[in-house]
Structure 1
Amino acid sequence: MDGISDPELEALWDEFHRVVNMTSQELSTWLRTSDAEEDSEPLPEHAGTETGRHVLSILGKRRMDLTEGDIEVMRQVVDTVTAQRRDDLEPTAGDSAWRFRLMRLGHDPLKRA
C-alpha cells in the first residue's frame, strides 16, 4: 500500500483493534438495533452509518487485505475514539447519546478494551 509503511500499518491495526472493543456480531446487532424504527428494520447491509458498516467490514478482514479506504477509516476511528476517551480506555459512563455515537464506531465506553 502506498503511503504507509509496514510498521505503521501494524501499529494502526493494533490500535484500531484496541479501540474497537465490540465484536463484529455486537457491532452488527447494534447497527441494526440503532437504525430500527417502530415498524421496520433496515436490511443488515444498510443498517447504521456508513462508517459503522465500514468498521464492520474491516473487522472481517485480514491486515493484508486492507484497502486505502480501510486505512483512512481506521485512522478516523482511532482518532475519534482517542479524542473522546482517556488513553487507558477504562470503562466510563457518560450520557447515552455520546455512548451511542461511539458504539456506531465499534467502541462501547462501558466495556473493557
Structure 2
Amino acid sequence: MSPRDQGAVWNDFHELVNLSPGELEDWLAREESKSAGQHESGGESTGHASGRRIVAILRSKRGDLSDDDYAHMSKVVGYIKRHLAQRPSGDTTHSKWRYSLMNWGHDPEK
C-alpha cells in the first residue's frame, strides 16, 4: 500500500472508529458484545476478534503499523460503511446491528 493510500485509510479509520481503546475493551468484555456477529464453530465472532485487533491498532504509533494492519484498517472502514447503510428502522439501542458495529469500533449512538 502506498504512503498516500495509507494516509487515506488512516484518516477514514480514525473518522469511523469512534470508540477509544478503553471503551472498546470494556465493550468487548460484555455479553452483548460476545453474542453479536457471525460465530465460526461456536468460537469468537469475526467482529469480536476484529475489535481486539482494533484496540491494538489504536494503541500503536502510526509508524509502527504494518501493511497487514493497514489492510485490516481498510477492512474495518468497509465494514462500518456497509453496516451503517443497512440501518434497521426503529430503535437500535439494544439491537444486534448496533452491537455488531460496536465490535468493529463504531457506536452509531455516539
Whole-Å separation in 1 of the counterparts to 2:16 and 2:78: 10
Where does the alignment leave 5 or more consecutive residues of structure 2 unmatched?
35-43
1 CA distance for matches of 2:48 and 2:80?
16
Matched residue, 1:51 = 50
Report the alpha carbon displacement of residue 93 of structure 1 after superposing the two structures with TM: 5.0
Which residue of structure 2 aligns with residue 42 of structure 1? none
Query: 1:100 Cα shift?
Result: 0.3
Give the aligned partner of residue 68 of structure 1.
67
- Would the aligned equivalents of 1:93 and 1:110 in 2 still touch at CA under 8 Å? no
Distance 1:73 1:8 in 2: 13
Find runs of 4+ consecutive structure 1 residues off by over 2 angstroms.
92-95
Structure having the higher helix fraction is 2
- Equivalent pair of 1:51/1:105 in contact (CA under 8 Å): yes
The answer to whether the Cα contact below 8 Å between 1:22 and 1:106 also exists between their aligned partners in 2 is: yes
User: Which of 26, 30, 33 in structure 1 is aligned with 2:30?
Assistant: 33
- So what's the TM-score if we normalise by structure 2? 0.75
Name the structure 1 match of 2:103.
104
Instruction: Specify every segment of 5 or more residues in structure 1 that has no aligned partner in the other structure, as ranges.
Output: 37-45, 87-91
Deviation at 1:74, TM superposition (A): 0.4
SS at match of 1:85: helix
Match of 2:17 in 1: 20
Q: Which residue pairs with 2:40 in the alignment? A: none
Match of 2:3 among 3, 6, 26: 6
d(CA) in 2 for partners of 1:80, 1:93? 21
Cα distance in structure 1, aligned partners of 2:91 and 2:5: 32
Corresponding residue number in structure 2 for 1:89: none
Q: How many residues align?
A: 93
Task: Indicate if the aligned counterparts of 1:31 and 1:52 stay in contact, CA closer than 8 A.
Answer: yes
Identity of aligned residues (%): 35
TM, length-normalised to structure 1? 0.73
**CA RMSD in angstroms, aligned pairs only:** 2.3
| CA distance in 2: counterparts of 1:51 and 1:69, whole angstroms | 13
Shift of 1:63: 1.3
